[in-house]
Amino acid sequence: EVQLVQSGAELREPGESLTISCKGAGYSFTSYWIGWARQMPENGLEWMGIIYPGDSDVLYSPSFQGQVSMSVDKSTNTAYLQWSTLKASDTAMYYCARRLGRANHHSNWFDSWGQGTLVTVSS
Amino acid sequence: QSVLTQPPSVSAAPGQKVTISCSGTSSNIGSNYVSWYQQFPGTAPKLLIYDNNKRPSGIPDRFSGSKSGTSGTLGITGLQTGDEADYYCETWDSSLSTGVFGTGTKVTVL
């Protein structure tokens, strides 16, 4: 069974840094893209980007380029989402998900999702 | 704001049918496949449809998907109270070189 288990809720102050994690199990972690999505309170899903654990290739959505960093640790089957300087507007639920489909991205979908990590940024 | 537009809400009585549209452009839906997700409050999204019209194992055939030109459509027949949730479309945008979600649609069973 494919499982993605995310790290727990975080409370930070503006200006602080943060890294949240997403640990994959039950499949070949390095063979599938992992994506991240943001959901701000009472809002819809936003596509942040995807990372390929096999070679750490990353594709960021233009809206999130430069705002966050994605990385992986193949030795622990874990993907990470990092902020160097948090803002109040980063307050949201963040989901990781496994991406299936074709290499050219024209046919891709998220088939398994983590439970979400709630990030609250407040002074 | 999303490049994929969905109606904010749709509603119907139990047993009836609803359709949810997802309107895009030639650079996203027009040249790529559409997937659909269901999300209940406080939970992670769940894949309902991929490759425009395919259902993962375990998804009932009451849920269907289609695509025509630059629009995708999700259909739900035999509507049940348990179908009350938010629904999102998703596709790749070849111009942005990124994926995009739709604005989301809340389904209400009257």
Q: Give tens-digit pLDDT for A2-49.
A: 999 999 999 999 999 999 999 999 999 999 999 999 999 999 999 999
Tell me which of A3, A4, A70, A110 to substitute to probe the interface with B (most B C-beta atoms closer than 10 Å).
Answer: A110
Q: What is the mean pLDDT of chain B?
A: 96
For residues B70-86, give the mean pLDDT: 97
| pLDDT tens digits, A62-110 | 999 999 999 999 999 999 999 999 999 999 999 999 999 887 788 999 9
Tell me which of A45, A46, A48, A52 to substitute to probe the interface with B (most B C-beta atoms closer than 10 Å).
Answer: A45
Interchain contact, B37 vs A49, CB within 8 Å: no
Distance CA B70, CA B74 (A): 14
Query: DSSP secondary structure string, B32-53?
Result: S--EEEEE-TTS--EEEEBTTT
- Chain A contact for B51 (CB, 8 A cutoff): yes
**Is the predicted pLDDT of residue B1 greater than 80, yes or no?**
no
Residues of A in contact with B44 (CB under 8 A): 95, 113-116
A39, A101, A115, B27, B66 from B23: Cα distances, Å: 21, 22, 29, 12, 12
A42: which residues sit within 8 A by CB, 6+ positions away? none
**Is the predicted pLDDT of residue A55 greater than 80, yes or no?**
yes
Interchain contact, A60 vs B103, CB within 8 Å: no
| pLDDT tens digits, B38-76 | 999 999 999 999 999 999 999 999 999 999 999 999 999
In DSSP terms, which residues pair with B86 in a beta bridge?
A: B39, B106
Question: What is residue A102's predicted lDDT score, i.e. its pLDDT?
Answer: 82
Interchain contact, A111 vs B56, CB within 8 Å: yes
Q: What is the mean pLDDT of chain A?
A: 96
CA B43 from centre of chain: 17
Question: What is residue A105's predicted lDDT score, i.e. its pLDDT?
Answer: 82
3-state secondary structure of A31: helix
